[in-house]
Amino acid sequence: MKPTSPQTKQPSRSADLLLQIEKPIYGGAFLARDEGKAVFVPLVLPGEEARVRIVEEKRGYSTAEAAEIVTTAAERVVPACQHFGACGGCQYQHASYAAQLDCKQAILRETLERGGVQAPEDMAVLAAEPWGYRNRIRLAVDAEGNPGYRGQRSHAIVPIAECPIAAPLLVRAALAFAETLRKFLRSQRASEISLFCDGEESGLLAGLHSASPAKLPIEQLYRKLVESVPELKGIEHISEGRSGRTPHTVSRWGADSLSYQAAGFPYRVDHGAFFQVNRYLIDGFVEHATAGLEGALAWDLFAGVGLFARRLAASFRRVIAVESAPAATAALAHNLSGTVASAVKAATLDFLRRTHRDERPDLIVVDPPRTGLGNETTARLAEIAAPMLVYVSCDPATLARDLRDLITAGYEIQEITLADLFPQTFHIETIVRLHRP
Q: What is the CATH number of the domain that holds 195?
A: 2.40.50.1070
- CB atoms < 10 A from the CB of 265, how many? 16
Alpha-carbon span 119 to 243, nearest angstrom: 41
Ramachandran category for residue 263: left, alpha or beta (phi over 0 → left; psi -120 to 50 → alpha): left
Residue pair 176/146 in contact (Cβ under 8 Å)? The answer is no
Same domain, 315 and 400: yes
Cβ neighbours, 10 Å, residue 358: 5
Beta carbons within 10 angstroms of residue 126's beta carbon: 17
Residue 9: the pLDDT is: 44
Q: What is the pLDDT of residue 355?
A: 81
List average pLDDT for each run of 10 residues in the chain, which is 437 residues long.
48 69 97 96 97 94 96 98 96 98 98 95 96 97 93 91 98 95 75 96 96 84 94 94 74 96 97 96 97 97 98 98 96 98 97 83 97 97 96 98 98 98 98 96
- Give the separation between CA 160 and CA 181, rounded to whole angstroms: 16
Residue 120 and residue 146 share a domain: no
pLDDT at residue 38, rounded to an integer: 97
298 with 406, same domain: the answer is: yes
Looking at the domain assignment, is residue 106 inside a domain?
no
> What is the phi/psi pair of residue 9, to 5°?
60, 25
- Assess whether 409 and 289 both reside in one domain: yes
DSSP alpha helix (H) spans, 279-395: 282-290, 307-312, 326-336, 348-354, 375-384
Task: Say if 273 falls within a structural domain.
Answer: no
Report the pLDDT value the prediction gives residue 357, as an integer from 0 to 100. Answer: 67
Going from the C-alpha of 59 to that of each of 63, 113, 306, 349, the distances in angstroms are: 11, 25, 46, 38
The span from the CA of 417 to the CA of 406, in Å, is: 18
Tell me, yes or no, whether 202 and 223 share the same domain. yes
| Helix %, strand %, coil % of the chain (to 5) | 25, 35, 45
* Same domain (yes/no): 344, 425: yes
Report how far residue 278's alpha carbon sits from residue 435's, in angstroms, rounded to the nearest whole number.
Answer: 28
CB 126 within 8 A of CB 418: yes
Domain annotation covers residue 317: yes
Domain span at residue 50 reads: 7-90
Residue 99 lies in a domain: no
Check whether residue 209 and residue 68 sit in a common domain: no
In one letter, which amino acid is 199? G
Tell me the pTM: 0.93
Alpha-carbon gap, residue 296 to 188, rounded angstroms? 55
pLDDT of residue 5: 56
Q: What is the pLDDT of residue 418?
A: 98
CATH number at residue 84: 2.40.50.140
- pLDDT, residue 183, reads 84
Q: Same domain for 298 and 251? A: no
SS3 201: coil
Taking the C-alpha atoms of residue 178 and residue 435, their distance in angstroms, rounded to an integer, is 50
Contacts of 228 (CB under 8 A, 6+ apart): 176, 180
In this structure, the answer to whether residues 227 and 311 fall within a common structural domain is no
Number of domains in the chain: 3
pLDDT score of 187: 57
